[in-house]
Amino acid sequence: MQENAYQSMAEIARDFCAHVESFSEDQVEEWLQGMATMLPRLDEAARELGNAKSTSVHEQNPEDEGRFELFTRLYEALGERDGYNYEFDAREGQRLSGSLADDITDIYFDLKRGLELLKQYPAEPAIAASDWQQSFEFHWRHHLVDAERQLSRPANVMSH
């Protein structure tokens, strides 16, 4: 990984987190448009990190402070725009569904964790980069793909 890849990832992670933190129930459509343009940049930056060697020093905490509050706030404001179907489970005979609020919340907390690692270890950006790369591969890459797919759909067909 190169220093430029670290810097690009840190920049888009900061932008993404700031965008999530700026969410306003009064400007949902504009916020979603901003999110739709940001997600491809995030995907590109995460992929440019390559295969990071594990240097993780942070234990994942699935109950990050504020996770449920952020999810609930987004879920309620997005309303019908939140839910989507994404595949058919032949064994169960039903469509599987997802939540845009869940996708954004999970990406946010994984990116935020990397930003905190940058603050803790400013001389070692590889620690944050490794955390982002690993969490991307094993967790939020799927959320990003699903969110991009959902946000690329016209507003009138974005509900269940």
Instruction: Copy the structure tokens of residue 127.
Output: 């620690």
Query: In this predicted structure, what is the pLDDT of residue 155?
Result: 60
- Judged against a pLDDT cut of 60, whether residue 129 lies above it is answered with yes
- The CATH architecture of the domain made up of 3-51+65-155 is Up-down Bundle (1.20)
Cα distances from 97 to residues 5, 81, 82, 88, 146, in angstroms, run 33, 13, 10, 9, 10
Q: For 3-22, what is the mean pLDDT?
A: 94
Q: Yes or no: say if 55 and 85 are a contact pair by the CB < 8 Å rule.
A: no
Round the average pLDDT of the chain to a whole number and report it: 85
Is residue 35 within 8 A of residue 151, CB to CB? The reply is: yes
Q: Is 109 exposed, middle or buried (0-12, 13-18, 19+ CB in 10 A)?
A: buried
Q: Are 108 and 13 in contact, with CB atoms under 8 Å apart? A: no
Closest by CA to 148, choosing from 5, 16, 3, 2, is 16
Decide if pLDDT at 112 tops 80.
Answer: yes
Torsion, CA 42, CA 45, CA 48, CA 52, rounded to 10: -80
Q: Residue 128's closest CA among 45, 67, 65, 68?
A: 45
Residue 45, token pair as written in the block: 């930056």
- Find where tokens 């939140």 sit: 82
pLDDT for the residue 74: 95
DSSP for 51-63 reads SPPP-------TT
Confidence at residue 97, expressed as pLDDT on a 0 to 100 scale: 76
Q: What is the pLDDT of residues 31-66, one digit of tens each?
A: 999 999 999 999 999 999 876 555 555 455 555 678
Domain residue limits, the chain: 3-51+65-155
